[in-house]
Amino acid sequence: MTEKEDVTNQPEKEPLDDEALEKLAVEELLREAVQGAARAEIVGPSGWIKAPQNKTNKRFLVNTLRNAVTSNKYHSRQRRHSHKSPNREKHPEPSIKKDRSKRKH
């Protein structure tokens, strides 16, 4: 890649003047018009209408984040407690054992 190509790919750091902003706006409007015309050829006149943006399901997002945070807290607590007492049994044996030989199947 040459230095010229690198310079053209980088965005300008200077603030844009009115002429540059107007040029960018015209380019964007022309690009949208071309896309609308292409959609109109495929689906008819309704192709000019832009599709509405999907809205975020905020309740689902909040519940997912809340459950992820509580799950992470639970697992970090479990790891912390298991490191403190490594000899602790996970399933202690019951104090009263049942006689399983008398059970009928």
pTM of the model: 0.36
Q: Using CA atoms in the order 43, 45, 49, 51, what is the torsion angle rounded to 10 degrees?
A: -20
Inside any domain, residue 67: no
Q: Which residues contact 82 (CB under 8 A, 6 or more apart)?
A: 88
Q: Check pLDDT > 90 for residue 87.
A: no
pLDDT value of residue 23 = 94
Count structural domains, the chain: 1
Among 23-37, 46-60, 69-83, 85-99, whose mean pLDDT is lowest? 85-99
Inside any domain, residue 68: no
Range of the domain at 27: 16-49
pLDDT value of residue 1 = 44
pLDDT value of residue 79 = 81
Inside any domain, residue 33: yes
Where residue 44 falls (left for φ over 0; alpha for ψ -120 to 50; beta otherwise) is: left
pLDDT value of residue 59 = 95
Distance separating alpha carbons of residues 34 and 36, to the nearest angstrom: 5
If you search the block for the tokens 């030989």, which residue do you land on? 101
Q: Check pLDDT > 70 for residue 65.
A: yes
pLDDT range class, residue 44, cuts 50, 70, 90: confident
Inside any domain, residue 31: yes
